[in-house]
Amino acid sequence: MRKIQMVDLQKQYQQIKTEVDEALHQIMENAAFINGPAVKGFQANLETYLGVKHVIPCANGTDALQVSLMAMGLQPGDEVITTTFTFIATAEVIALLRLTPVLVDVYPDTFNIDVQAIEKAITPKTKAIIPVHLFGQCADMESIMNLAESNNIGVIEDCCQAIGADYIFMDGSRKKAGTIGTMGCTSFFPSKNLGCYGDGGAIFTPDDSLDEELRGIVNHGMFKRYYHDIVGVNSRLDSMQAAILDIKLKRLDTYIQKRQEAAAYYNNAFSGNEHIKTPVIAPFTTHVFHQYTLVLDGVDRDKLIGFMAEKEIPVMIYYPVPLHLQKAYADARYSSGDFPVSEYLAAHVISLPMHTELDSEQLDYIATNLLKGIDFASK
Ligand SMILES: *Cc1c(COP(=O)(O)O)cnc(C)c1O
């Protein structure tokens, strides 16, 4: 059996090696390393795939979030509501821009931002909401958009973990994750569902004037060559990464399907176990399983992790500490106990290997040993 990894990018590369090597070779021959045709080609193909008018490539997902906030023209002290149960980048950019992150709790079943909690957190200073489509399924966008519209607030979707997921509206129509809000942000970090071989990111928007603004900001605030109207940043997707992404974009739906099949295998293997809660998918979204995350009940998690390590099965805790309990984000407004769902999840979740190359032998080995580990570590 092949050694199990959380994400097996070596094996995935072997399947597309000829195409990738050829594309990279061509870029080296042409030397159009920055803003070359590969970037424009990928941008156009991603716009088509997502069904969104504008895709603005940038250097990484964190930049995508930062640049989106910059494009909203907010003032220091303006409030931005987001979830406390996410990767740090979501709140980091709010703090870096001297805006005020306002954290709220999540739902215990989907791990996504609690809409009632958002509503309670809205004040006259609230200027934006950043819902995170955590682990690969969409937050409740229709409710969030209604709330945002009636309060005149912008919505930036953090879609770094959910590219390709569908949001299903009440009337049955669908839109891709990241294309519903004012702007959507994604990351092409290698382990993401659409990942390159380095860093990359993108912003999505249906709005023409935001598109222009965003393109200016990622290019030093420059709209006319060497005339800088605003303070911007330098955030680019390079041609090699774009070429790799274009090759992988053609396979994204197949990759998603492979992740869903692995998830179905796990679900089936764990169903009925009293100590394991398998992922719950909300009715308004598909799930692209960036992560396959279980909630454990009555299990000594550290003991289980030790057991899995002995079996050479990697597992991860996403995320062990909610943002309001992180040292850098310590804030007089928040203390332990304020967001009980997120704090509970941080102490009880575990994520299993999830990627496009898991075979049935590996899945069986992981599932069998997880069940043995649960027996061993149950309290
Ligand atoms: C990965 C990720 C980011 C940051 O993306 P980078 O490309 O690493 O900067 C932001 N938010 C979430 C939810 C992520 O998973």
**Cα 92 to averaged position of ligand 1 atoms, centre (Å):** 11
- Are residues 186 and 47 both part of a single domain? yes
The answer on pLDDT for 379 being more than 90 is no
pLDDT band at 129 (very low <50, low <70, confident <90, very high): very high
* Average predicted confidence (pLDDT) for the chain: 97
pLDDT at 332: 85
**Minimum-distance ligand 1 atom for the alpha carbon of 290:** 15
- Are residues 351 and 339 both part of a single domain? yes
Tell if the pTM clears 0.95, that is, is over it: yes
Average pLDDT over residues 297-322: 98
DSSP letters, 254-281, are: HHHHHHHHHHHHHHHHHTT-TTEE----
- Are residues 118 and 203 both part of a single domain? yes
Examine the fold and report which residue of 229, 249, 269 is the final residue of a domain before the chain moves on: 249
CATH of the domain at 197: 3.40.640.10
Residue 4 in domain: no
- Are residues 145 and 271 both part of a single domain? no
**Minimum-distance ligand 1 atom for the alpha carbon of 63:** 9
CATH of the domain at 344: 3.90.1150.10
Q: How far apart are CA 99 and CA 128, in angstroms?
A: 10
The answer on pLDDT for 330 being more than 90 is no
pLDDT at 210: 98
Q: How far apart are CA 198 and CA 188, in angstroms?
A: 8
pLDDT at 349: 98
Average pLDDT over residues 195-222: 97
- Are residues 13 and 116 both part of a single domain? yes
* For ligand 1, mutation pick of 62, 218, 288 (most atoms within 8 Å of CB): 62
- Are residues 80 and 147 both part of a single domain? yes
- Are residues 341 and 194 both part of a single domain? no
Average pLDDT over residues 246-254: 98
pLDDT at 111: 98
- Are residues 162 and 26 both part of a single domain? yes
- Are residues 293 and 353 both part of a single domain? yes
The answer on pLDDT for 287 being more than 90 is yes
List the domain range (segments joined by +) for residue 159.
9-105+112-249
> CB of 161 closer than 6 A to ligand 1?
yes
Examine the fold and report which residue of 249, 270, 298 is the final residue of a domain before the chain moves on: 249
**Cα 61 to averaged position of ligand 1 atoms, centre (Å):** 5
Residue 221 in domain: yes
**Cα 88 to averaged position of ligand 1 atoms, centre (Å):** 8
**Cα 192 to averaged position of ligand 1 atoms, centre (Å):** 9
Q: How far apart are CA 147 and CA 119, in angstroms?
A: 7
pLDDT at 122: 98
Q: How far apart are CA 4 and CA 359, in angstroms?
A: 10
Number of domains in the chain: 2
Q: How far apart are CA 284 and CA 46, in angstroms?
A: 23
> CB of 62 closer than 6 A to ligand 1?
yes
Examine the fold and report which residue of 207, 222, 249 is the final residue of a domain before the chain moves on: 249
pLDDT at 275: 98
The answer on pLDDT for 347 being more than 90 is yes
- Are residues 235 and 354 both part of a single domain? no
- Are residues 46 and 71 both part of a single domain? yes
Residue 3 in domain: no
Bridge partners of residue 102, in order along the sequence:
81
pLDDT band at 93 (very low <50, low <70, confident <90, very high): very high
pLDDT at 302: 98
**Minimum-distance ligand 1 atom for the alpha carbon of 161:** 15
> CB of 160 closer than 6 A to ligand 1?
yes
CA-nearest residue for atom 5, ligand 1, is 61
Average pLDDT over residues 138-159: 98
**Minimum-distance ligand 1 atom for the alpha carbon of 65:** 10
* Pick from 292, 276, 307, 296: nearest CA to 352: 292
Hey, what long-range contacts does 327-336 have (CB within 8 A, 24 or more apart)?
Answer: 329/91, 329/95, 329/101, 334/103
* For ligand 1, mutation pick of 65, 138, 161 (most atoms within 8 Å of CB): 161
